């Protein structure tokens, strides 16, 4: 009997994703405390687990975050809070410079209907 074609083979024939059309304008979004911890610990985790794949490193980072106490997380939480303030300031400056935050098309339509 001939082997069945896997469903994965059929899905791999899907068209390739298109790249981003261009760089998104505006300030970068703030990073979470986990992302700051992740940046800090990634190289250490990779050094301790040189054969770990990208996904395995991510799982190890997640496990590390879960086992950390609130006191150990505090520096990262503080960094995230400062980054949130930075992002809010940059967003306000960007909106002021660009004539206000226009929002999404849905938001614009809602605002026009409510006028």
88 contacts: CB under 8 Å, gap ≥ 6: 30
For residues 102 and 108, the answer to whether their CB atoms sit within 8 Å is yes
For position 111, what pLDDT does the model report?
A: 55
- Residue 32 sits in a domain whose CATH number is 1.10.30.10
The better pLDDT of the pair 57, 104 is held by 57
Query: Does residue 108 lie in a domain region?
Result: no
Query: Does residue 115 lie in a domain region?
Result: no
The better pLDDT of the pair 97, 72 is held by 72
Q: State the chain's mean pLDDT as an integer.
A: 82
Listed range (10-14, 50-54, 110-114) with the worst mean pLDDT: 10-14
Range of the domain at 67: 28-99
For position 26, what pLDDT does the model report?
A: 87
* 18-73 pLDDT per residue, tens: 655 666 788 999 999 999 999 999 999 999 999 999 999 999 999 999 999 999 99
Query: Does residue 16 lie in a domain region?
Result: no
Which residue carries 């405390």 as its tokens?
33
Residue of 87, 84, 85 whose CA lies nearest to 27: 87
Q: How many domains does the chain have?
A: 1
């Amino acid at each position: 009997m001939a082997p069945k074609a896997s469903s994965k083979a059929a899905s791999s024939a899907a068209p390739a994703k298109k790249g981003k059309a261009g760089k998104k304008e505006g300030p970068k979004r703030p990073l979470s405390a986990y992302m700051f911890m992740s940046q800090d610990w990634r190289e250490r985790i990779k050094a301790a687990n040189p054969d770990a794949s990208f996904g395995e490193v991510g799982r190890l980072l997640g496990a590390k975050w879960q086992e950390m106490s609130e006191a150990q997380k505090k520096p990262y939480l503080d960094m995230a809070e400062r980054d949130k303030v930075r992002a809010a300031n940059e967003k306000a400056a960007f909106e002021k410079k660009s004539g206000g935050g226009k929002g999404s098309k849905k938001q614009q339509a809602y605002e026009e209907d409510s006028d």
